[in-house]
Amino acid sequence: MTKKNNLYIDIFAGCGGLSVGLLKAGWTGFFAIEKNQDAFSTLEHNLIKKNPHFLWPEWLEIKEYDINELIKEHENELRKLQGKITLVAGGPPCQGFSMAGKRDKNDQRNLLVKSYIKFIKLVLPEAIIFENVHGFMANFKGENAIKKYSSYVESELKGLGYKTAYKIIDMSEYCVPQKRKRFILVAMKNHAPEKVFSLLENNRDYFCDFYGITRKIRVYDAISDLEKRFGVCDSQDTRGFKAGMYGIAQSGYEKLMRQGIDNYDEQVDSHRFVNHRKETVTLHENLLKHAPVGKRITPDHNTVKGLKRRGVTVLDRASQAPTITSIPDELVHYCEPRILTVREHARLQSFPDWFEFKGKYTSGGKRRKKEVPRYTQVGNAVPPLFAEQIGIALMEVLKNESN
């Protein structure tokens, strides 16, 4: 294998949100590593079969992989990639670091940070993009634990000869219709990673103008063409459910998300409405009447009767959504008495409509530890529009400084 410019590996790839953005930015995928079968089936459908974005090496079967098993089975092949891979992008699962979760220092998923470093040591790419929740920068309490994982990663990368820079970035500043703060680290061997962040910020207005969108995308501008009032039909992938149809695209963002869709008369992928019980519809109607928009309420607020969820937010149509998570019951539509569909979540994550999700819609109980249904795939992803912008900035630094 000879070196190919702009060749990258997507690590802890999920359903492929990061790769969708890097594809648009002009990068070429070599292969992707994702452990979960559901998430990988979505990535494979969209970025290997439907759009042949990944070259994929002959020595690696196209399937889901645990990173530790891949390293064990293909250590020699990975070492041979040194000097041939420009970028490794992605970050380990964030649940153990999230400030909104249990934040358990003993969460086994935290150990995947060490697996990430081991992979970097084998491949030694020219550049690295590392993404995680902003809690990745917070200290863990107690003995026998890495206190601050961000410092650990930075120290390990510097020990390998990388220059590093990081920021906490609010994705809502980069055309993503949600207030989603993430820890982003860029590491480079022979270039200045600080310049990537400078370009990322300086290029925002040009990026918006190019696509005919605004920097701050409102909820209404993101999903108003998906309202249930535009019509329903029988769901193609789930018996007994109804799916939504397209309305007229009102905003530049909705038009951008619909690029690549040929027939607007067909049902929208993964736009399946939940079959709410009568009392749930009544609860949502009361929330629409009485709950403050854009603010999370809990049963302790006594805003409405019958609220048993840990917390819920009625979307503010004139602002950005809160962080999209894997739990669909946390958000209520801004004008219809229902939770959002997978497609509406995907819009708020900036997934284009041509990107089709596979697997179950939801999962519960003990199955949640093994299964990654569609809502979770979306909630765990890197927003493609942000990935595109940082991919462009990184490529520009590599090109300009090389010249």
Condensed to tens digits (0 to 9), the pLDDT of residues 83-95 reads 999 999 998 985 5
Instruction: Determine the average pLDDT of the residues in 12-31.
Output: 97
Q: What is the 3-state secondary structure (H, E, C) of 105-132?
A: CCCHHHHHHHHHHHHHHHHCCCEEEEEE
Confidence of residue 266 (pLDDT cuts 50, 70, 90): confident
Is the pLDDT reported for residue 169 higher than 50? yes
DSSP run (H or E) holding 223: helix 219-223
Q: Percentage of the chain surpassing pLDDT 70?
A: 91
Is the pLDDT reported for residue 98 higher than 80? no
Confidence of residue 80 (pLDDT cuts 50, 70, 90): very high
Q: How far is CA 76 from the centre of its chain?
A: 31
DSSP string, 29-69: EEEEE---HHHHHHHHIIIIIIS--B---TTS-SS---HHH
DSSP run (H or E) holding 87: strand 87-89
Say how far apart CA 297 and CA 400 lie, in whole Å: 49
pLDDT at 111: 83
Confidence of residue 400 (pLDDT cuts 50, 70, 90): confident
pLDDT digits (tens, 9 = 90+) for 303-315: 999 999 999 999 9
CB within 8 Å of 326: residues ≥ 6 apart: 375, 376, 379, 380
Instruction: Determine the average pLDDT of the residues in 183-188.
Output: 97
CA distances from 61 to 31, 47, 268 (A): 10, 15, 32
Residues 398, 215, 383, 164, CA torsion sign: positive
Instruction: Determine the average pLDDT of the residues in 207-229.
Output: 97
Active site residue 175: no
Strands of the sheet containing 87-89, edge to edge, are 28-33, 7-11, 87-89, 127-133, 181-188, 163-170
Is the pLDDT reported for residue 292 higher than 80? yes
Catalytic residue among 94, 208, 233, 335: 94
pLDDT at 309: 92
CB within 8 Å of 289: residues ≥ 6 apart: none
Least confident span in 336-345, 363-372, 381-390: 363-372
Q: Point out which residues pair with 9 in neighbouring strands.
A: 31, 88
The full set of domains in the chain, from first to last, is: 7-213+383-402 (3.40.50.150), 219-380 (3.90.120.10)
pLDDT digits (tens, 9 = 90+) for 124-168: 999 999 999 887 776 555 555 556 788 899 999 999 999 999 999
pLDDT digits (tens, 9 = 90+) for 366-376: 777 778 999 99
Say how far apart CA 229 and CA 11 lie, in whole Å: 40
